[in-house]
A and B are shown apart, each in its own frame.
Chain A
Amino acid sequence: MPGAKERELRRRIGSVQSTKKITRAMELIAATRVVKAMQRANEAKPYATQVTSVIENLAAGGARVSHPLLREVENPKRVGIIAITSDRGLAGSYNAAVIKAAERQLDAARTAGSDYALILIGKKANDYFSFRNYRIDASYTGMTDTPTYEDAREVAGKVVDMFIGGELDRVELVYTEFVTMGTQRVTVRRYLPLATASEISEEGGGAGGALAEFEFEPSPSGVLESLLPRYMESRLFSAMLEASASEHANRQRAMKAATDNAEELITKLSREMNQARQAAITTEIMEIVGGAEALGSDDQKVVIQSIFENTEGAPA
């Protein structure tokens, strides 16, 4: 009969093994998701690029607007923070990093004497901030896995309304930028007020400099006015897509590490278990030999020999 320690170890190995199966599966799923998310982010790029290029051309065409989205306030009374996290955990430091950066923005706003407003995307940010009794203005869940343009429009609409209604004077966007498969970076971008059209074009991303003289219908300002809300949506949408790709990449990495750790642990535990079993066998033999010796009978030799014959079947 195996000893208590051996049984205990065998049980632990079993449990680590089933954990490993789960993490391996999650790793594989995240790997395919990341590819899909990257593809979506790439497919969405032409629109963002084109919108920026139209704004560039408008700036060159001399569009001057006093659009409410361009309203710059020197001492913002209320700063909005949009944080994009995920709904699900097990993605390494992905959520923690975004939440930390968002909280830093929030503290900075409070230090500067302004109020804050939290617009949270993803369950994790909501959990964190509501647990700490922060006031949450809006919280969206169920859209971070595969964000659609409709989702982006919903959030952007809410934020733009708050900004135009004078509830917010500045809005920061905190999300994870997808640089490469191996690098994702938490980024804080100013979302509102918008930079002027010429600043937007300087920020780049457009399809090259504006050269030609354009005709506008109805007018440069008219075009810009209907374009700016689209631009807001498109910016948020790109951020959400990048965040989603980053989430899956982070999860894949975290799950790979977990699988590797599980493997290592299994090796270590198996060694320990083998040792424990060997020790138990040795003790048992010693006990029998000791017992036989104590009897001190003449056929001592035979007894010991038969013990070794009987234990031969046991693995070393």
Chain B
Amino acid sequence: MQVELVSPERITFSGEADKVLVRTVGGGDIEFLAGHVPFIGVLQVSAAKVVNGDSAEVFAIHQGFVQMSGDKVTILSDVSENKDDIDVARATTAKSNAEAAVAADGEDAEAKAALRRAEIRLGVASGDLPA
């Protein structure tokens, strides 16, 4: 099964995989194996896992879309970073800033989204994913 992660500026990942795990806006995790029914879904800010044999690669996805068609999974996302792309220091700063903003205003959706993004980033970087 072919997997492609496409950002607006370039293809960030392209390769073979046995299965792909993503999370859609409905809140459900969905796993694609070869031969999955054609599917188009909107993704949450979450981590996507691409498993090929024994190796797995995890990407932080900042919203986007997943399309499964034929024998190919395409993930379209503004940002899709793997462990090496993530700037941990920056994400940590972003996280504490977002936390402060959320503490100041619990209804601030923007800050909550920023917090979520920072958490996912750090999670992917450390390999310890938040729920």
Instruction: Point out residues on A near B: beta carbons under 8 Å.
Output: 40, 43-44, 46-47, 50-51, 53-54, 57-58, 61, 148-149, 152, 212-218, 222-223, 226-227, 230, 233-234, 237
Contact = CB atoms under 8 A, between A and B. Distances in A.
A149 B8 contact: yes
A217 B76 contact: no
A212 B69 contact: yes
B11 A46 contact: yes
**Chain B at the A interface: mostly helix, strand, loop or mixed?**
strand
A54 B67 contact: yes
A233 B78 CA distance: 10
A51 B76 contact: yes
A40 B9 contact: yes
B67 to A, nearest CB: 6
Contacts of A233: 8
A260 B108 CA distance: 60
B8 A44 contact: yes
Nearest to B36: A215
Interface residues of B, number: 26
Given A43-B11, A215-B40, 16 more contacts: A44-B10, A46-B4, A50-B67, A54-B67, A57-B67, A149-B78, A214-B39, A215-B37, A217-B28, A217-B30, A217-B42, A218-B24, A218-B26, A223-B40, A227-B42, A230-B65
A234 B78 CA distance: 10
Contacts of B26: 217-218
Nearest to B38: A212
Q: 4 nearest interchain CB pairs?
A: A217-B41, A212-B38, A43-B10, A149-B8
A222 B42 contact: yes
Given A214-B39, A217-B39, A217-B42, A227 B65 contact: yes
A215 B67 contact: no
A217 B38 CA distance: 11
B42 A54 contact: no
A218 B42 contact: yes
A40 B67 CA distance: 24
Contacts of A222: 25, 42
B28 to A, nearest CB: 8
27 contacts: A43-B10, A44-B10, A46-B4, A46-B11, A47-B76, A50-B6, A50-B76, A51-B76, A53-B67, A54-B76, A148-B9, A149-B8, A149-B9, A149-B78, A152-B8, A212-B38, A215-B37, A215-B39, A216-B40, A217-B25, A218-B42, A223-B41, A226-B42, A226-B65, A227-B42, A227-B65, A230-B65
Interface of B: 4, 6-11, 24-26, 28, 30, 37-42, 63, 65, 67, 69-70, 74, 76, 78
Contacts of B11: 43, 46
Nearest to B64: A230
A46 B40 contact: no
Nearest to A212: B38
A35 to B, nearest CB: 16
